C-alpha cells in the first residue's frame, strides 16, 4: 500500500475530516492517478484513505477516515446506498418535489468528485476526480444495481476535470436512446438534454427557489418579470405559473432560449406573454435602464464569477454592478431574487456586496429570505467549501 506523509501541523484539517489534501501539505510519498494511498501524519499515524491525484493542487481526496475501512467495491456500494437513501427519505416526505434529483453530491456524500443526477429514468454522471475515474466501472454498475435504472449517460466534461489531468468524456455508459428528456418539478414540466445541456443537463439546485419565486410573484402580485441568465427558463415558467403577464428571459445561449420557449409551451402557458432575448445581461440591464423600463420582479442567477477565493475581488465588483442595475430597474415594491453560485464568495460577503449595490443605487430593500440550494445538494458540517449557492429575496422599499 502506497502512502503520503504530511508535513508537521498539516494533519489538522484531515483530523477535522476535511476531505482535501493540498500539494503543499505533503512531505513525501505518492501514487498513480486515482490510486488509494494511506495518508499519514508527520510521525506516521493513520489519518485517511485517499485517492491520489498527481496533477492537481488538490493532491489527494479522502475516501474514508476509518483505518479499518477498505476502499473496494463494497465501499462504493455502501456510500452510494447511503446517498440515495437520504434522497429517498427526503422524497418520501415530499421535500423533493421533482423526478429530477441529485443522488450524489460529491464530497458531501463521501464520494469526492462524483456527481450523479437522476432525470426521470436516466442517470447523468460526472466523474470529476482521478479517484472516481479509477472506480468508474464499479460506480456505474453499483448505481444501476441500486437504482434499478438501465440508462446512464456520462457528462465528464466540466472544466475542473482538466485540473485533475483528465480528458473530457461524454456519451452513454449504459443503455441508449433519446437524450432529450422531460422532468416534472413542483408540477411544472421542464425539457432538458442530458447530452447538450449545461452541467449534467439542468440546474436542479434552484428547484425550490424557482417554486419560491412562483409563490412570491403570486403573493406580491408581480406582473412584469425579467429573468436574467435564464438558461432554459425555469424561473420564467415559475413566474408565469405565479400569474406574471409579461416575462422576459435573457441569456447569451440561443439553444437555451429555444428550450425556454418550448418549456413555456409544454406547460400550456402563454408564449405571447414572453420575450426571449439573446443578449449579454450586463448590456441588457444598461439598455433597459436607459430606456426607462421597470419590472415588478427580477431574477439574477449568473454563472460562477468566482470559482475560488482568489477571484473574489474582481467577482465582487461584477456582482455589485448587476445588482445595482437590477435594483434600479425594480418598480417600487418590486421583488429581486439574486444569487451567487461562486464557491469563492460566502453568504456574508454576498450580502455585503448586495448591500453596497443598494447604497450605490440609492435603493433600500426588505430582506425577505436567504436562499440556498435544494436539500438534495447538501453540505456536510466538516466541509464548508461545499456550500456554494446562496441567494437573497429582496423587496424594494
Ligand atoms: N437560472 C437558471 C440557471 C442559470 S445558469 C435556471 O434556473 O435553470 C447561468 C446562465 O447564464 C447560463 O444559461 C448561461 O448561458 C448564461 N450566461 C452566462 N453569461 C451570460 C451573460 N454575460 N449574459 C447572458 N447570459 C449569460
- Gap between the Cα atoms of 343 and 346, Å rounded: 7
The active-site residue out of 228, 274, 341, 382 is 341
Cα-to-centroid distance, 102 and ligand 1 (Å): 20
Query: Which residue's alpha carbon is nearest to atom 22 within ligand 1?
Result: 280
Give alpha helix (H) positions in the chain: 12-15, 73-92, 130-134, 136-147, 160-163, 207-220, 234-241, 254-266, 281-290, 312-329, 347-361
Cα dihedral sign, 384-390-395-397 = positive
Query: Which residue's alpha carbon is nearest to atom 11 within ligand 1?
Result: 229
**Catalytic residue flag (residue 274):** no
3-state secondary structure of 115: strand
Point out the ligand 1 atom lying closest to the alpha carbon of residue 281.
23
Count Cβ atoms below 10 Å from residue 18 Cβ, excluding itself. Answer: 18
Contact between 141 and 121 under an 8 Å Cβ cutoff? The reply is no
Point out the ligand 1 atom lying closest to the alpha carbon of residue 231.
13
Cell of 97: 418535489
Per-residue pLDDT of the chain (397 residues; tens, 9 = 90+): 899 999 999 999 999 999 999 999 999 999 999 999 999 999 999 999 999 999 999 999 999 999 999 999 999 999 999 999 999 999 998 999 999 999 999 999 999 999 999 999 999 999 999 999 999 999 999 999 999 999 999 999 999 899 999 999 999 999 999 999 999 999 999 999 999 999 999 999 999 999 999 999 999 999 999 999 999 999 999 999 999 999 999 999 999 999 999 999 999 999 999 999 999 999 999 999 999 999 999 999 999 998 777 888 999 999 999 999 999 999 999 999 999 999 899 999 999 999 999 999 999 999 999 999 999 999 999 888 789 999 999 999 9
Q: Is the distance from the beta carbon of residue 255 to the nearest atom of ligand 1 less than 6 Å?
A: no
Q: Which backbone phi and psi does 131 adopt, to 5 degrees? A: -65, -45
- Gap between the Cα atoms of 279 and 261, Å rounded: 16
Q: Which of 254, 302, 336 to mutate to test the pocket of ligand 1 (most atoms within 8 A of CB)?
A: 302
Q: Is the distance from the beta carbon of residue 256 to the nearest atom of ligand 1 less than 6 Å?
A: yes
Residue carrying the nine cell digits 428550450: 259
Cα-to-centroid distance, 278 and ligand 1 (Å): 11
Query: Which residue's alpha carbon is nearest to atom 9 within ligand 1?
Result: 303
Q: Is the distance from the beta carbon of residue 234 to the nearest atom of ligand 1 less than 6 Å?
A: yes
What separation in angstroms does the CA of 121 have from each of 144, 159, 176, 179, 181? 11, 27, 12, 11, 9
Cα-to-centroid distance, 255 and ligand 1 (Å): 12
Cα dihedral sign, 130-134-139-140 = positive
Q: Which long-range contacts (CB under 8 A, 24 or more apart) does 378-385 make?
A: 378/86, 378/105, 378/108, 378/109, 379/108, 380/107, 380/108, 382/16, 382/17, 382/18, 382/19, 383/17, 383/18, 383/19, 383/107, 383/108, 385/20, 385/107, 385/343
Tens digit of each residue's pLDDT (9 = 90 or more) over 318-354: 999 999 999 999 999 999 999 999 989 999 999 999 9
Amino acid at each position: 500500500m502506497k502512502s503520503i506523509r504530511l508535513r508537521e501541523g498539516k494533519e489538522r484539517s484531515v483530523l477535522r475530516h476535511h476531505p482535501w489534501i493540498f500539494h503543499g501539505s505533503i512531505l513525501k510519498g505518492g501514487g498513480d492517478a486515482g490510486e488509494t494511498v494511506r495518508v499519514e501524519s508527520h510521525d506516521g499515524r493513520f489519518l485517511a484513505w485517499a485517492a491520489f491525484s498527481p496533477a492537481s493542487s488538490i493532491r489527494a481526496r479522502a475516501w474514508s477516515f476509518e483505518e479499518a475501512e477498505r476502499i473496494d467495491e463494497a465501499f462504493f456500494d455502501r456510500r452510494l446506498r447511503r446517498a440515495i437513501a437520504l434522497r429517498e427519505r427526503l422524497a418520501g416526505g415530499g421535500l423533493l418535489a421533482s423526478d429530477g434529483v441529485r443522488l450524489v453530491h460529491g464530497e458531501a456524500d463521501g464520494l469526492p468528485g462524483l456527481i450523479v443526477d437522476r432525470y426521470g429514468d436516466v442517470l447523468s454522471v460526472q466523474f470529476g476526480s482521478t479517484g472516481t475515474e479509477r472506480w468508474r466501472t464499479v460506480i456505474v454498475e453499483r448505481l444501476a444495481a441500486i437504482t434499478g435504472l438501465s440508462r446512464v449517460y456520462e457528462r465528464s466534461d466540466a472544466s475542473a476535470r482538466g485540473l485533475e489531468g483528465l480528458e473530457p468524456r461524454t456519451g452513454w455508459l449504459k443503455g441508449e436512446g433519446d437524450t432529450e428528456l422531460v422532468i416534472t418539478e413542483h408540477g411544472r414540466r421542464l425539457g432538458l438534454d442530458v447530452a447538450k445541456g449545461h452541467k449534467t443537463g439542468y440546474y436542479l439546485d434552484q428547484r425550490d427557489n424557482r417554486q419560491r419565486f412562483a409563490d412570491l410573484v403570486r403573493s406580491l402580485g408581480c406582473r412584469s418579470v425579467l429573468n436574467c441568465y435564464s438558461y432554459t427558463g425555469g424561473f420564467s415558467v415559475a413566474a408565469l405559473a405565479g400569474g406574471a403577464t409579461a416575462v422576459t428571459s435573457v441569456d447569451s445561449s440561443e439553444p437555451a432560449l429555444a428550450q425556454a420557449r418550448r418549456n413555456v409551451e409544454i406547460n400550456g402557458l402563454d408564449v405571447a406573454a414572453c420575450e426571449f432575448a439573446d443578449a449579454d445581461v450586463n448590456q441588457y440591464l444598461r439598455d433597459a435602464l436607459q430606456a426607462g423600463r421597470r419590472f415588478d420582479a427580477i431574477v439574477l442567477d449568473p454563472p460562477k464569477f468566482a470559482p475560488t477565493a482568489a477571484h473574489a475581488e474582481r467577482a465582487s465588483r461584477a456582482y455589485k454592478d448587476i445588482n445595482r442595475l437590477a435594483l434600479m430597474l425594480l418598480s417600487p415594491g418590486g421583488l429581486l431574487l439574486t444569487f451567487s453560485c461562486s464557491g469563492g464568495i460566502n453568504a456574508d460577503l454576498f450580502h455585503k456586496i448586495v448591500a453596497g449595490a443598494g447604497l450605490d443605487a440609492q435603493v433600500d430593500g426588505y430582506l425577505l429570505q436567504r436562499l440556498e440550494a435544494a436539500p438534495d445538494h447538501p453540505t456536510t458540517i466538516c466541509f464548508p467549501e461545499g456550500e456554494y449557492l446562496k441567494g437573497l429575496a429582496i423587496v424594494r422599499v
